[in-house]
Structure 1
Amino acid sequence: MKNHKNTMLIAIIMLTATLTMNAQNQIFSIHADYVKPSMESEYVEISKAFVAECKKHNLQNADWTQLRLDNGTYITFEAIPNMAALDVDVFAPLVEKMGAEKFSALFDRYAKCYDRHGSYIITRIENLTYMPEGAIATQEGQNYRKYHYLYVTPSTSKMIAEKMKAIKELYAKKGSKEYYRVYHSGFGTLGEFFLVVISAKDELSYAKQSEENEAVIGDEGKKLLDDLFKNISRYDPITGYVLPTLSYNTKK
Structure 2
Amino acid sequence: MRTLKTTLIIVLALLAVPCISQEDSKSQAFWVHEDVVKPSMISEYETVCKELTDAMKTHNIQEMNSIVANLSDNRYLWVGPIENMAQLDKPLFATLAEKMGADKMGGLFDRMDKCYDIEQNYIIHLDKELSYMPGGITQTPEGQDYRKFHYFHYTPGNRAIVKKKVEDIKNLFTNKGSKLDYRVYRSGFGTRGEFYMVAIAAKDAADYANKISANNELMGEEWLKTYTDFTSTLEKYEAFEGNMRPDMAYAPGE
Q: TM (normalized to structure 2)?
A: 0.88
Partner of 1:202: 204
Kindly report structure 1 stretches of 4+ aligned residues shifted beyond 4 Å.
Answer: none
3-state DSSP of counterpart to 1:127: strand
Is 125-134 or 52-61 further displaced after alignment?
A: 52-61
What is the identity, as a one-letter code, of the residue corresponding to 1:147? F
Say if 1:31 and 1:119, in contact at 8 Å, map to a contact too. yes
Offset, 1:87:
2.2
Q: Distance in 1 between matches of 2:164 and 2:87?
A: 30
Question: Could you say what the CA RMSD is over the residues aligned between the two structures, in angstroms?
Answer: 1.3
What is the identity, as a one-letter code, of the residue corresponding to 1:168? K
Give 2:77's match in structure 1, choosing from 75, 78, 84: 75
Q: How many residues align?
A: 231
Residues 215-241 of structure 1 show CA distances to partners (whole Å, capped at 9, x for unaligned) of 111111111100111110000011001
Offset, 1:119:
1.3
Partner of 1:12: none
What is the identity, as a one-letter code, of the residue corresponding to 1:112? K
Q: Distance in 1 between matches of 2:60 and 2:83?
A: 21
Q: Distance in 2 between matches of 1:234 and 1:122?
A: 18
Partner of 1:188: 190
Give 2:235's match in structure 1, choosing from 223, 229, 233: 233
Q: Distance in 2 between matches of 1:189 and 1:89?
A: 25
Partner of 1:119: 121
Q: Distance in 1 between matches of 2:171 and 2:89?
A: 38
What is the identity, as a one-letter code, of the residue corresponding to 2:203? K
Say if 1:59 and 1:250, in contact at 8 Å, map to a contact too. yes
Q: Distance in 2 between matches of 1:61 and 1:162?
A: 40
Partner of 2:132: 130
Q: Distance in 1 between matches of 2:225 and 2:83?
A: 37
Residues 36-89 of structure 1 show CA distances to partners (whole Å, capped at 9, x for unaligned) of 011100001000000001111122232221111001111111122232222223
Partner of 1:162: 164
Inter-CA distance 247–93: structure 2 relative to 1 (3 Å threshold): same
Partner of 1:11: none
| Structure 1 residue 87 corresponds to structure 2 residue 89 | yes
3-state DSSP of counterpart to 2:81: strand
Partner of 1:213: 215
Say if 1:146 and 1:237, in contact at 8 Å, map to a contact too. yes
Gapped regions of structure 2 (runs ≥ 5): 1-23
Q: Distance in 2 between matches of 1:91 and 1:195?
A: 30
| Structure 1 residue 140 corresponds to structure 2 residue 142 | yes
Residues 200-225 of structure 1 show CA distances to partners (whole Å, capped at 9, x for unaligned) of 00000000000000011111111110
Gapped regions of structure 1 (runs ≥ 5): 1-21
Q: Distance in 2 between matches of 1:38 and 1:188?
A: 28
Offset, 1:184:
0.5
Offset, 1:251:
2.8
Partner of 1:175: 177
What is the identity, as a one-letter code, of the residue corresponding to 2:194? E
3-state DSSP of counterpart to 2:128: coil
Say if 1:32 and 1:119, in contact at 8 Å, map to a contact too. yes
Partner of 1:243: 245
Q: Distance in 1 between matches of 2:102 and 2:61?
A: 15
Partner of 1:59: 61
Q: Distance in 2 between matches of 1:84 and 1:228?
A: 37
3-state DSSP of counterpart to 2:133: coil
3-state DSSP of counterpart to 2:156: coil
Q: Distance in 2 between matches of 1:139 and 1:52?
A: 24
What is the identity, as a one-letter code, of the residue corresponding to 1:74? Y
Is 203-212 or 62-71 further displaced after alignment?
A: 62-71
What is the identity, as a one-letter code, of the residue corresponding to 1:137? Q
